[in-house]
Amino acid sequence: MTALDLSSPVAVVGTGTMGQGIAQVALVAGHPVRLYDAVDGRAREAADAIGARLDRLVEKDRLTGAEREAARARLTSAESLDALADCALVVEAVVERLDVKQELFRALEDVVGDDCLLATNTSSLSVTAVGGALRVPGRFVGLHFFNPAPLLPLVEVVSGFATDPASATRAYETARAWGKTPVTCADTPGFVVNRVARPFYAEALAVHELRAADPATIDAVLRESGGFRMGAFELTDLIGQDVNESVTHSVWQAFFQDVRFTPSLAQRRLVESGRLGRKSGQGWYDYRDGAERPGPHTAPPAEAPAYVVVEGDLGPAAELVGLIREAGVEVRPEDGYGAGRIVLPDGGTLCLTDGELPGSEDLVHFDLALDYRAATRIALSASEGVRPGLLSGATGLFQALGKEVSVVGDVPGMIVARTVARIIDLAFDAVARGVAGPEDVDTAMRLGVNYPLGPFEWNRRLGDTWARDLLSHIHEWEPSGRCAPSLALHRHAAADAREGTPS
């Protein structure tokens, strides 16, 4: 099964931001495109808006003048659904209500031919449910574009329970012919991206609700240590708090209120107060004229230790040994058992967080970093009774490496580590349940939400038991089940342990 021929007309029903974006993608790819909207005049307005965007593409040398004129000639607005009768593909991008979508597709089925591919751009509803009332449900598929559709490369091609494999293949090949990077997935709540991404928001909100750090500090640690393009609070302000919470609530309800997807009370209160983010002027941050953006908590300068003792293997933080030497701090290596640690001259210990609480006056945890050399900020955590000199020495050590230091409360797993571990866990669970393959999951998370690594790439870097062990420790301290490792992650870690056992 191949992509639709470029001579085949494509229709987009619903002419909001997403509908216009999808129409522009199909139009620039070379298809005749027809726009339809139930509100009189909106399709014509959308056609004008798309034409203006084509003008900007010419100004940016992404289209020639001739290509623009040809595209404009292929774009028409439809006054009724009957005008879509000869279309080979109809993509729906209307309001996220099951009854509205079902009614639309029943009407479309009375107009188009039986060989017309019907697709929904839903991000939160069941593709199976939307297409369930159709006379020919096998030609129905999910084509989930990401906003803005002309710029973001990812498209999730979602097969409902009744979708014919040939229909899914044609949708996949068509998206690829349009210059997109499609991934295939099964029809489960959140598909790939909105399912696996929930911990990125949930763990930041959990750390905030535990009063371990403020939003600005959490965002800075996620960006500057975790390597994420944006922090969770600034990203939800950009998305819209109401939109982000709605998706979280939808996934939670669709999974029969699975505790792993529980919405945040703090975000609920923000939405109830009308602080929806950038679009309302206030969210976690204040975007009104003259408002100052709060900065992250950053520790004052401290003196670096003259030397450190490194016992054992620091695992994911092993790169720190070379960085410490480069900073002019003497490193005295010693053999050790179990997790590696850095010992300061006063006997205090620094360890990469393992999901346990520090729990000792002689221990400071530091957070995971995507790349300790490139990281510009490191988070430290200690118990309330930690010796002041130890926390100062730990701060001075990381400052000597050129890092800003944020001291956060003693929450298990800190910020980056617990976020990454939970993303890895949900990814393994999704693959085990047949949602998508590992490569498609990695592609989806890198392209759909701009993660620096896919979950399986992260897992290979951190080790096959790292996420399981860290989440198991967090679960001991927070036994709600929200952070409990999935069966899939336990099985993967156990398989790795068996492979590593001498025969």
Catalytic residues: 123, 144, 156, 194
Q: Hey, what are 419's tokens?
A: 């976020």
φ and ψ of 301, to 5 deg = -60, 140
β-bridge mates for residue 308, sequence order? 331
Burial class (CB in 10 A: 0-12, 13-18, 19+), 99: exposed
Contact 489, 471 (CB under 8 A): yes
Query: Which two tokens mark 17?
Result: 């931001």
Task: Pull the structure tokens for residue 458.
Answer: 């992260």
**Pair 377, 224: CB distance under 8 Å:** yes
Tell me which long-range contacts 488-496 makes (C-beta under 8 A, separation of at least 24).
488/425, 488/428, 488/429, 488/431, 488/432, 488/433, 489/424, 489/425, 489/428, 489/429, 491/432, 492/428, 492/464, 492/468, 493/464, 493/465, 493/468, 493/469, 495/464, 496/464, 496/465
* CA atoms 44, 49, 53, 55: torsion sign: positive
Task: Looking at 30-77, list the stretches that DSSP marks H as alpha helix, in order from N- to C-terminal side.
Answer: 42-59, 65-74
- SS3 category, 138: helix
N residues, the chain: 503
Q: How far is CA 227 from the centre of its chain?
A: 13
Going by C-beta distance under 8 Å and a sequence separation of 6 or more, which residues neighbour residue 231? 204, 215, 218, 219, 220, 221, 222, 223
Cβ–Cβ under 8 Å, residues 357 and 470: no
384: CB partners within 8 A, 6+ apart: 410
8 A C-beta contact, residue 366 and residue 350:
yes
d(CA 405, CA 389): 15
Q: How far apart are CA 242 and CA 95, in angstroms?
A: 15
Q: How many Cβ atoms from other residues are within 10 Å of residue 275's Cβ?
A: 18
For residue 140, the cross-strand partners are 118
Q: Which residues contact 202 (CB under 8 A, 6 or more apart)?
A: 248, 261, 262, 264, 422, 482
CA dihedral for 331, 336, 340, 344, sign (positive or negative):
negative
| Greatest C-alpha distance within the chain | 81
Could you tell me which residues come within 8 angstroms of residue 349 by beta carbon, excluding any fewer than 6 positions away?
341, 342, 343, 362, 363, 364
